[in-house]
């Protein structure tokens, strides 16, 4: 089954992608202009409770988008991990929202609607955009001086499901009910302060409200796909890669990428901490298998040139970690062939003999095979082999860096 987002650049080429963006942008601007959102008086009216059209339109869009996104993910049509979610910078976000709110009240526009006003040659819109550009320039010139404040409350990709530890469907229902309550309250405020009569509003809005609530309830019943569900959808293709040894890279290939400045190499050691402390490859990060789920978002946020190599004592636990990460759409994930045991076997030299006292017969296929005189960490020479000694040795390259499909950017209308 094909899942979205689709790689548009691969399907339509760059010029086709730009054409799609142009059509979407034109349609969005046309919808705003047709709704009267190029008039500052209409937009500012929401702050005086006289005309809450802006609030209703944008909150309706939020609720519909939320229901459709999570409905599509529930059906396996959309990969939520590949959707950009604005990262949370708490205090700087609060300050920025406060400043934007003041600007909205005074100027009567938000960034998107101001551009619509410019397109229709509204004088106040032109002044607003010019002022916004001046402000953006001033901010860009001063932001470095306040970087600690702006970056100090970074929480990453946080959703309401994370904050309240509730299932997606429950959050969707609560947000929908909250929106409907606010719509009702907005109509009452318009009746009082705007001289409107909400009883004359189209009755079809009640049908729309009922459909939204039923959709949210259905999300609770269906639920969101688990990691096991996601793996099942890709198992045929990905299991074949495992069976054909396409993703198990040799120690020499990993050593090569440890010295490749063009690649952002992330080595994840998923063994138990005691084994990691006994020996680990230099710069390998310890991440137990149980900790992987909570680290998926940070892993997805890493640069496009990131290469992930997971390792365990042999390959068993690393393979399970690989399956989990691949099912969660983490790109460019590979397994260290024969694990840390194989790495030591390939690179241990005479300087390591004072630590390695014996090699034992493993009873478990993923057991650390070496007896050490003490926990060496990355003190062994094998932890960081001399590249010059091995760079001319041949190996079968398997790494094929994929074009990153993960979330990378977003914006505001």
pLDDT of residue 332: 97
Residue 193 and residue 251 in one domain: no
Residue with tokens 């730009």: 18
Q: Where are the beta strands (DSSP E) in 78-198?
A: 88-89, 154-156
Instruction: Supply the pLDDT for residue 84.
Output: 85
Helices and strands (H, E) in the chain, number of each type = 17, 9
Region for residue 285 given its phi and psi (left: phi exceeds 0; alpha: psi -120 to 50; beta: otherwise) = beta
- 150 belongs to a structural domain: yes
Q: Are residues 327 and 255 in the same domain?
A: yes
Are 198 and 241 found together in one domain? Answer: no
In a domain, 148, yes or no: yes
255 and 219 share one domain: no
Q: Are 399 and 307 in contact (CB under 8 A)?
A: yes
Least Cα distance to 241 among 332, 339, 362 occurs for: 332
Same domain, 271 and 355: yes
Task: Tell me which of 177, 201, 226 is where a domain ends.
Answer: 226
The alpha-carbon radius of gyration of the chain (Å, integer) is: 28
Q: What is the pLDDT of residue 405?
A: 55
23 and 50 within one domain = yes
Phi-psi region of 338 (alpha: psi -120 to 50; beta: other; left: phi over 0): left
pLDDT of residue 292: 97
Contact by Cβ (8 Å): 5, 405: yes
DSSP letter string, 6-65: --HHHHHHHHHHHHHHHHHHHHHHHHHHHTTTT-HHHHHGGGGTS--HHHHHHHHHHHHH
Residue 352 lies in a domain: yes
Domain end marker among 203, 226, 249: 226
Q: For position 258, which CATH number holds?
A: 3.40.250.10
User: In terms of domains, do 249 and 221 share one?
Assistant: no
**Cβ distance 219 to 172 under 8 Å?**
yes
For residue 218 the two structure tokens come to 């259905």
Q: Give the pLDDT score at 196.
A: 92
402 assigned to some structural domain: no
Q: Is residue 410 part of a domain?
A: no
- Shared-domain flag, residues 191 and 266: no
Distances (CA, A) of 404 to 86, 232, 310, 367, 409: 18, 22, 18, 34, 12
SS3 percent helix, strand, coil of the chain, rounded to 5, is 60, 10, 35
Three-class SS state of 249: strand
DSSP state for residue 381 in the 8-state scheme: G
Q: Which class for 98: exposed (0-12), middle (13-18), buried (19 or more C-beta within 10 A)?
A: exposed
Q: Quote the number of domains for the chain.
A: 2
Contacts of 356 (CB under 8 A, 6+ apart): 344, 348, 370, 371, 372, 373, 380
Q: Is residue 413 part of a domain?
A: no
How much is the pTM?
Answer: 0.84
Q: Which of 226, 252, 271 is the last residue of a domain?
A: 226
Domain contains 282: yes
Q: Are residues 133 and 65 in the same domain?
A: yes
Does 152 map to a domain? yes
Does 288 lie in the same domain as 207?
no
Range of the domain at 57: 8-226
Could you list the pLDDT tens digit for every one of the 413 residues in the chain? 556 677 777 788 889 889 999 999 999 899 889 888 999 989 988 899 999 998 998 899 999 999 999 999 999 899 999 888 888 999 999 999 999 999 999 999 998 899 999 999 999 999 999 999 999 999 899 888 888 888 888 888 889 999 999 999 999 999 999 999 999 999 999 999 999 999 889 999 999 999 999 999 999 999 999 999 999 999 999 999 999 999 999 999 999 999 999 999 999 999 999 999 999 999 999 999 999 999 999 999 899 899 999 999 999 999 999 999 999 999 999 999 999 999 999 998 877 777 787 777 766 778 999 888 888 888 888 999 999 999 899 999 999 998 655 565 555 54
For residues 78 and 19, membership in a common domain is answered with yes
Same domain (yes/no): 191, 252:
no
């Amino acid at each position: 089954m094909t899942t979205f987002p689709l790689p548009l650049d691969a399907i339509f080429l760059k010029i086709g992608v730009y054409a799609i963006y142009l059509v979407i942008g034109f349609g969005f601007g046309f919808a705003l202009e047709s709704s009267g959102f190029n008039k500052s008086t209409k937009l500012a009216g929401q702050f005086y409770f006289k005309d809450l059209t802006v609030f209703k339109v944008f909150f309706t869009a939020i609720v519909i988008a939320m229901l459709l996104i999570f409905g599509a993910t529930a059906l396996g049509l959309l990969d939520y991990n590949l959707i950009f979610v604005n990262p949370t910078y708490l205090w700087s976000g609060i300050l920025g929202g406060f400043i934007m709110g003041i600007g909205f009240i005074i100027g009567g526009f938000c960034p998107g609607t101001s551009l619509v006003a410019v397109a229709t040659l509204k004088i106040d819109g032109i002044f607003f955009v010019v002022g916004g550009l001046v402000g953006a320039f001033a901010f860009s010139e001063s932001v470095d001086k306040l970087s600690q404040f702006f970056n100090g409350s970074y929480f990453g990709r946080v959703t309401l499901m994370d904050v309240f530890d509730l299932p997606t469907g429950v959050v969707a229902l609560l947000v929908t009910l909250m929106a409907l309550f606010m719509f009702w309250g907005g109509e009452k405020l318009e009746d009082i302060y705007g001289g409107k009569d909400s009883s004359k509003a189209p009755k079809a809005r009640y049908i729309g409200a009922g459909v939204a609530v039923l959709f949210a309830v259905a999300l609770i019943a269906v639920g969101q796909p688990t990691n096991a569900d996601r793996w099942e959808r890709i198992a045929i293709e990905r299991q074949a890669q495992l069976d054909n040894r396409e993703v198990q890279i040799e120690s020499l290939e990993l050593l090569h990428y440890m010295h490749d400045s063009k690649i952002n190499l992330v080595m994840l050691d998923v063994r138990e901490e005691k084994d990691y402390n006994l020996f680990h490859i230099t710069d390998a990060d310890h991440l137990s298998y149980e900790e992987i789920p909570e680290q998926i978002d940070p892993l997805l946020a890493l640069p496009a040139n990131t290469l992930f190599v997971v390792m365990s004592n042999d390959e068993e636990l690393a393979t399970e970690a690989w399956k989990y990460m691949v099912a969660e759409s983490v790109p460019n994930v590979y397994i260290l062939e024969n694990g840390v045991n194989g790495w030591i076997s390939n690179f241990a030299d005479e300087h390591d003999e004072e630590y390695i006292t014996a090699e034992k017969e493993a009873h478990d296929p993923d057991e650390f095979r070496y007896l050490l005189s003490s926990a060496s960490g990355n003190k062994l020479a094998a932890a960081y082999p001399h590249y010059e000694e091995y760079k001319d040795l041949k190996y079968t390259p398997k790494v094929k860096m994929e074009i990153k499909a993960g979330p990378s950017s977003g914006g505001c209308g």
